[in-house]
């Protein structure tokens, strides 16, 4: 009997997929607008603490105004897309550090003897911790995660997956208070004032549970990477000669360095690292001085309009958060150049610029992908479809009387699913908080606990929604480092890789939420789940 031929699965390039999603969104907006689909919700004015009703309707993108908006705003959508500037700035710094040899030398001298699982854990933990400055971790750690695995003789695709999963599924938690607390607290407090006008939410209200969550999520994420992702993705093998040579070079650098390298080159690399360390110390001193208030010419990165230091650091006028990506890139550039001077790895500035330019040329396809992804995200947001879905889902919290664990589980479901359609933290919490916070307060559950439930549930689905701005960056890097001929990592493939993290980390998040409720552990200093 003749063997049945396997049907070839349709494999679409991510760029094509985003174009199709744009078409689907536009057509869907037209159909839904014919039925006058709309929703209304009450949001709390954080200035007056009064409820304000907002009515949203589906905007027809095939109308005259809709078509005009798509055409006239295409350029703005792309330029204002957060990933573009952040990504390019980050890549310049990474490219300088890589092309000068700093990253490679640091990897083989400092990390080669460390257990790979420990490196994976540290990468995941750093990714989780990065949310202290919002979305910087996506742009910084995805390319660094690839290099971290690559120069340790491992598949860079696993490093990309680890970094992205860490930032996405561990978003909103860290060892310290950060930008997310600044975003959530005003709405949490205003929602609480609907029940108790004297209620106050401190910046540290979720600190203890965040520290615990950061460690647990990082451990679980590391297990998924090592036990599943690394094995599933396999070794980094290519049929292309250049790539094979690169792999051999990596193995040579990592495993045969002490036997093969000349003493002279060793001394150069040591000298380069000393120069880089000296430069790093200087940059860090300047950076720390810039966030210390009260000293001469200090506090340049702070929001001087705020009284509290936490608000000065993460306030609306703070340059710390807004300029963090640039500062990190500057750190990599300065230390990379310092290494090049010490190790004499680069002849002159012309050579360095040419190498960095060549390195950056590899992201041309990624920028094309980002262009269409930015249009899809902007158009979907403009249709209001996502907002309406969130409003409908949040109504579940009012539809039937809920209490205790059932209320908590429904809240988790509503927030997690809502995040698939509206990744914006502010938009979701603005809609959900006036419903969830008072409902939980009436069940004797604290607003701070409601806030943490939101943070955790939002993180559960971050890594599997194409509407997340940095999902396209994750896909782009999967394809940049993909060396399998005729294989393209599309949206479905990206989600498939993230699915084990989604399942395992969702279980971990739910377990943490329920554990704190059942045992009554403190969320932060003087703050508990139960009022």
Residue 391 within any structural domain of the chain: yes
Please check whether residue 78 is in contact with residue 368, taking contact to mean a CB–CB distance below 8 angstroms: no
Please check whether residue 112 is in contact with residue 129, taking contact to mean a CB–CB distance below 8 angstroms: no
**Max CA distance (Å), the chain:** 86
Residue 524 within any structural domain of the chain: no
**Long-range CB contacts for residues 23-27, cutoff 8 Å, separation at least 24:** 25/61, 25/376, 25/379, 25/380, 25/383, 25/385, 26/61, 26/62, 26/66, 26/70, 26/379, 27/62
The strand pairing partners of 56, in sequence order, are: 39
Please check whether residue 448 is in contact with residue 65, taking contact to mean a CB–CB distance below 8 angstroms: no
Q: What's the DSSP call for residue 161?
A: H
What residues have CB less than 8 Å from 191, skipping those under 6 apart? 44, 433, 434, 436, 437, 438, 447
pLDDT digits (tens, 9 = 90+) for 306-363: 777 777 777 666 777 667 778 888 899 999 999 999 888 888 888 888 888 888 887 8
Name residue, tokens 């598949």.
155
Residue 437 within any structural domain of the chain: yes
Name residue, tokens 């000296």.
278
- For residue 505, how many C-alpha atoms fall within 13 Å in the half-sphere facing its CB? 36
Instruction: Provide, for the chain, the percentages of residues in helix, strand and coil under a 3-state DSSP scheme, each rounded to the nearest 5.
Output: 70, 5, 25
| Dihedral angle computed from the Cα positions of residues 211, 214, 220 and 223, in that order, rounded to the nearest 10 degrees | -110
Residue 527 within any structural domain of the chain: no
State the pLDDT at residue 241.
Answer: 41
Residue 2 within any structural domain of the chain: no
How far apart CA 118 and CA 128 sit, in angstroms, is 15
pLDDT digits (tens, 9 = 90+) for 67-122: 999 999 999 889 888 777 788 888 888 889 888 988 888 887 777 778 889 999 99
CA angle 436, 442, 445 (to 5 degrees): 70
Domain count, the chain: 1
Residue 103 within any structural domain of the chain: yes
Residue 4 within any structural domain of the chain: no
Range of the domain at 103: 14-519
Residue 35 within any structural domain of the chain: yes
Q: Is the pLDDT of residue 269 over 50?
A: yes
Q: Is the pLDDT of residue 250 over 70?
A: no
Nearest to 172 by CA among 186, 159, 183: 183
């Amino acid at each position: 009997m003749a063997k049945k031929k396997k049907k070839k699965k349709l494999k679409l390039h991510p760029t094509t997929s985003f174009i199709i999603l744009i078409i689907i969104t536009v057509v869907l907006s037209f159909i839904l607008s014919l039925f006058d689909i709309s929703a209304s919700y009450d949001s709390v004015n954080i200035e007056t603490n009064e409820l304000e009703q907002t009515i949203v309707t589906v905007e027809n993108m095939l109308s005259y105004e809709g078509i005009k908006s798509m055409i006239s705003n295409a350029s703005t959508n792309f330029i204002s897309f957060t990933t573009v500037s952040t990504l390019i700035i980050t890549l310049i710094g990474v490219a300088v550090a890589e092309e000068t040899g700093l990253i490679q030398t640091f990897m083989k001298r400092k990390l080669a003897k460390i257990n790979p699982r420990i490196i994976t854990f540290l990468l995941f933990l750093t990714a989780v911790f990065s949310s202290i400055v919002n979305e910087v971790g996506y742009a910084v750690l995805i390319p660094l995660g690839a290099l971290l695995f690559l120069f340790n003789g491992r598949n860079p695709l696993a490093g990309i997956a680890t970094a992205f999963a860490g930032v996405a599924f561990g978003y909103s938690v860290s060892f310290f208070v950060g930008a997310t607390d600044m975003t959530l607290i005003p709405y949490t407090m205003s929602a609480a004032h609907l029940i108790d006008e004297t209620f106050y939410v401190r910046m540290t209200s979720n600190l203890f549970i965040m520290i615990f969550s950061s460690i647990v999520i990082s451990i679980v994420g590391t297990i998924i990477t090592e036990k599943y992702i690394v094995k599933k993705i396999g070794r980094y093998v290519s049929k292309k000669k250049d790539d094979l040579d690169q792999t051999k070079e990596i193995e040579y650098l990592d495993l045969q360095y002490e036997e093969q390298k000349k003493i002279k080159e060793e001394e150069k690399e040591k000298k380069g690292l000393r120069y880089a360390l000296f430069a790093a110390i200087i940059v860090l001193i300047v950076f720390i001085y810039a966030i210390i208030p009260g000293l001469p010419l200090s506090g340049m990165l702070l929001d001087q309009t705020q009284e509290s230091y936490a608000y000065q650091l993460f306030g609306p006028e703070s340059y710390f958060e807004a300029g963090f990506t640039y500062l990190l890139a500057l750190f990599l550039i300065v230390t990379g150049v310092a290494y090049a001077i010490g190790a004499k790895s680069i002849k002159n500035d012309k050579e360095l610029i040419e190498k960095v330019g060549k390195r950056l040329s590899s992201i041309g396809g990624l920028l094309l992908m980002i262009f269409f992804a930015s249009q899809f995200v902007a158009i979907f947001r403009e249709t209001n479809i996502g907002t309406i879905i969130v409003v409908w889902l949040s109504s579940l919290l009012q539809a039937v009387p809920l209490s205790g664990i059932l209320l908590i589980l429904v809240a988790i479901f509503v927030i997690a699913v809502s995040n698939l359609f509206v990744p914006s933290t502010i938009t979701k919490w603005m809609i959900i908080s006036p419903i969830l916070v008072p409902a939980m307060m009436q069940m004797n559950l604290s607003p701070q606990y409601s806030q943490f439930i939101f943070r955790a549930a939002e993180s559960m689905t971050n890594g599997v929604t194409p509407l997340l701005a940095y999902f396209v960056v994750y896909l782009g890097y999967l394809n940049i480092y993909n060396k399998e001929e005729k294989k393209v990592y599309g949206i479905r493939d990206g989600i498939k890789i993230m699915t084990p993290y989604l399942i395992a980390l969702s279980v971990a998040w739910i377990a943490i939420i329920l554990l704190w409720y059942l045992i009554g552990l403190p969320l932060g200093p003087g703050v508990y789940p139960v009022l």
